Amino acid sequence: MSRKRKKKEKQKNLLDKYYFEIIVALMILIGLFLLIEDFELKKFLNDIFFIILNQFKSLFENIIKFISLQLSKVRLSNSLGFIILIITFILILFRLKKRLINNSEINNCINCENEIYRTKTKKFIKFFGFVLKAKILSFKCVNCKKQIYKVKAK
């Protein structure tokens, strides 16, 4: 047996002898690598998740901002419309009051010019008078039973 061959055999023996240890060492290395990889992967997925989450969050915030802006616009136009309607309604009421007071001097039926008599004023008419800040008195014609209202300024 030559020396070279002896050496080769010795190496082979060494490999045979430490076969198990080498496999175990490799497995530990692979295991550690996988653990680190897994950790990195987890971190990576976590980062991706947070990036996506942040994107969604900002998108959601933008949607909320947009909706609230639109709502505030709607509210503003709504309240403006409401104010205009109230002013118009008040103007109509004042006009109506003025006209009614102008017509309050009548003492006879406007249809047949017969006499009129006092009747009980309905509650909603009284409320209308309250809104107008005027006293509304109900009358009826003795002949045609026409309802006549007299409005007196308070």
Q: Which residues bind Zn ion (CB under 5 A)?
A: 109, 111-112, 114, 141, 143-144, 146
Q: Which C-beta is closer to Zn ion: that of 148 or that of 151?
A: 148
Q: Which C-beta is closer to Zn ion: that of 79 or that of 111?
A: 111
What is the 3-class SS of the chain, one letter each residue? CCHHHHHHHHHHHHHHHCHHHHHHHHHHHHHHHHHHHHHHHHHHHHHHHHHHHHHHHHHHHHHHHHHHHHHHHHHHHHHHHHHHHHHHHHHHHHHHHHHHHHHHHCCECCCCCCEEEEECCCHHHHHHHHHHCEEEEEEEECCCCCEEEEEEEC
Q: Which C-beta is closer to Zn ion: that of 99 or that of 145?
A: 145
Q: Which C-beta is closer to Zn ion: that of 100 or that of 141?
A: 141
Closest distance of CB 108 from Zn ion, Å? 8
Closest distance of CB 116 from Zn ion, Å? 7
Closest distance of CB 73 from Zn ion, Å? 55
Closest distance of CB 111 from Zn ion, Å? 4
